[in-house]
Amino acid sequence: MSSTTKQGVWLLDPKEFELPDSDTVKLGSYDHPADSLASEAALDGALREGGAVPLSSREAWAVLSQYAGVGIFLGIFPAMAYPVYQNYLRMQGYQVQSYQALMRLSWCVKIFLGLLSDCIPIHGYRRRPYIMLGWAIAAVACLVMAFSPFPAPYYGKASLVNLPIANISKADRAAFINEQAPSSAGIFVLLSTIATFGSVMVVCAADGLTVEYAQREPMATRGRFQTMIYVVRDSSKILPQIVVGLCMNSFAYAGHYDWSITPNVIYGCLLLPCGVCIATAFFWMVETKVRPFTFSSYFKGLWSLIQLRVVWQLCIYLLVSQVFLFFEETVTTPIQTLWLHLDPVFEVVWGPVGVLGGALYSGVMYFRGKWTLEWDWRRSIIFSTITLVSIDAVFKLTSVWAVVRNPYYFVIGKSLLQIPRAVLFLSGAYPLVEIADMGNEGAVYALAGTCGNLGVPFGAVLFKTVDSFFHVSNNDIFKDDTFVRWEVSYCYLISFAAKLFSLVFLGLLPRQKAHVHLLKRRGQSSKVAGVIVVTSFSVLLVYSIITNILPFYPSTSCLRIAGGRGCQQ
């Protein structure tokens, strides 16, 4: 596309949306006969033929069930970090960080799984075989964990929990302390990683189908199916988190109940969603066979698409905005423990990742997809960002300065943040469907989505560097004096300012679907911008992988880049 393209791409002249009078219409990377696409009037703005998929149909349920299964996995494995690996096994901090990093590591390579699904059909199918293969991998890992004896807890007697080893008699140590517990669950960490990898493979293949289904929707309702996958996925996180929070709360997990379930039960229960999702994919999923194509043509088309202004501009926006939106302070967790004495069970029910937070998040997404698809994306983000910062400031600063220092007040305030967060998430996700072309749905969705995902850990690590200049360690917060309260307030104020600063880059985001397609058709094509996007993506991907690997080792877990507070010489 020429660099002398008509400027003023944000001015919505209806003539700009007329298809060119030629035999073919080139959409980024593939040439489609004009008569096969039909006119926009006939398709009501749909990007491909077939008509919208009814949400009540088996075809839709087959795809939605995949996201329900992935949501269960997303809820279970991260939720087990604190009760199982921190409390039950008493792993060191760097070991727990390693577990959490491994759960994230598979998501860093999502782009490659998207390419795999796009490029290598199995018997002519690009999605269903990889979905079934992903669940098979996850099921085998969960099956092994379910029937492998889980190590005994570190503390075998309730009265000894949290006592220093030096204060425990030799007889009790020999009888009730499992000093090998922290190093005895390596196989479960590895198998959990494999199961997570299987679920990510499912997501990448299912995302390709989601893009296809969403592009069949008329412009007025396009985004409804895409919204539903997120509603289903995030709603499915709630139940497993409740199960972990309530059923892993005995003394062995540093809780207060006189009963609990073992991790083996959890791993065994995960076999159910694996089996159900394999069945729905096999019996209900509808997928059209694709013709063989060459890798050279695929990557040539993908490279042409990445060079389009609409793609690299959106990738830059998603990356930079997420860095500042997730420029999160690190003092909230110790405040909950040392100042508010928060009950973990209460947070499971009423916290942002519990029942209340999950219900608010899913409910707002459903409302957004049902009635407000035509909202201006920029205005939605401006309003939601300001609302997010306002709610955050009120609840956190009043707690810091003891105006209202109540754990229930604080947690419910955190849960209310899920309302603007849901709008922010969807406003950045809707453009992804609009930019993908036929044949590269999985790779494009993964590329743009991963750009946003990579901004999250990068923003967190950047703030840890800022955080190191303030006196907000656990020992400092325990003092709870005026000096410490100001130090904590400064951390919060910097975080709030960074979130508001993310709005500076909002001009990179198109206002709505029509603006995306106008920019795609009339925007410039730049090899330099394409190289910058691919290079930046590769560097940040390597950075993300490294920061997820460094916590594995005691000698590097203390590094700031790994999430530590600096290593002592």
Digit-coded pLDDT (tens) for 425-470: 999 999 989 888 777 788 888 888 888 877 777 777 777 777 778 8
The pLDDT tens digits for 137-172 are 999 999 999 999 999 998 888 888 777 777 888 888
pLDDT at 28: 33
The pLDDT tens digits for 304-322 are 888 989 889 999 999 899 8
Tell me the helix, strand and coil percentages in the chain, rounded to 5. Answer: 70, 5, 30
Least confident of 30-39, 218-227, 406-415, 422-431: 30-39
Q: Which of 292, 313, 335 is the last residue of a domain?
A: 292
* Cβ neighbour number for residue 258 with a 10 Å cutoff: 9
pLDDT at 234: 92
| Domain ranges, residue 222 | 58-292
pLDDT at 376: 94
**Tokens 């709630």 belong to residue:** 238
pLDDT at 228: 96
Q: Are residues 260 and 385 in the same domain?
A: no
Cα 346 from Cα 411, distance rounded (Å): 9
Q: Are residues 314 and 184 in the same domain?
A: no
The yes-or-no verdict on residue 23 having pLDDT over 60 is no
Q: Which of 239, 259, 292 is the last residue of a domain?
A: 292
pLDDT at 553: 67
151: in domain? yes
384 vs 24, more confident = 384
Give whichever of 14-23, 108-117, 386-395, 459-468 has the largest mean pLDDT: 386-395
DSSP, residue by residue, 504-568 = GGGGGS-SSHHHHHHHHHHS-B-HHHHHHHHHHHHHHHHHHHHHHHGGGSHHHHTSGGGTSS---
* Cβ neighbour number for residue 403 with a 10 Å cutoff: 9
20: in domain? no
Q: Which helix (H) or strand (E) holds 97?
A: helix 93-108
113: in domain? yes
The yes-or-no verdict on residue 12 having pLDDT over 50 is no
Q: Are residues 104 and 249 in the same domain?
A: yes
Chain-centre distance of CA 435, in angstroms? 20
564: in domain? no
Q: Is the backbone of residue 257 left (phi > 0), alpha (psi -120 to 50) or beta? A: beta
What amino acid occupies position 513? K
Over residues 91-120, the mean pLDDT reads 82
30: in domain? no
Which residues lie closer than 8 Å to 103 by C-beta, 6 or more apart? 77, 78, 81, 192, 193, 196
**Tokens 């030629």 belong to residue:** 22
- State the total domains in the chain: 2
Q: Are residues 407 and 427 in the same domain?
A: yes
212: in domain? yes
Over residues 83-92, the mean pLDDT reads 84
The yes-or-no verdict on residue 560 having pLDDT over 80 is no
Over residues 317-346, the mean pLDDT reads 83
307: in domain? yes
Q: Are residues 370 and 436 in the same domain?
A: yes
Q: Are residues 194 and 339 in the same domain?
A: no
Q: Are residues 405 and 487 in the same domain?
A: yes
pLDDT at 2: 40
257: in domain? yes
Say what percent of the chain tops pLDDT 70.
89
Q: Which of 292, 318, 345 is the last residue of a domain?
A: 292
Q: Are residues 351 and 248 in the same domain?
A: no
The pLDDT tens digits for 213-243 are 999 999 888 999 999 999 999 999 988 988 9
Q: Are residues 88 and 201 in the same domain?
A: yes
Could you tell me the CATH number of the domain that includes residue 437? 1.20.1250
Question: Rounded to whole angstroms, what are the CA distances from 189 to 26, 102, 272, 446?
Answer: 47, 8, 20, 26
Q: Are residues 288 and 381 in the same domain?
A: no
Q: If we measure between CA atoms, which residue out of 349, 370, 367, 368 comes closest to residue 415? A: 349
Asked if 17 and 516 count as a contact pair (C-beta separation under 8 A), the reply is no
Q: Which helix (H) or strand (E) holds 296?
A: helix 295-307
Q: Are residues 345 and 287 in the same domain?
A: no
pLDDT at 95: 76
Over residues 50-58, the mean pLDDT reads 92
Q: Are residues 329 and 268 in the same domain?
A: no
Cα 474 from Cα 331, distance rounded (Å): 9
pLDDT at 193: 93
CA dihedral of residues 16, 17, 23, 24 (deg, nearest 10): 100
The pLDDT tens digits for 481-536 are 999 999 999 999 999 999 999 999 999 999 999 899 888 888 788 899 889 888 98
The yes-or-no verdict on residue 180 having pLDDT over 80 is yes
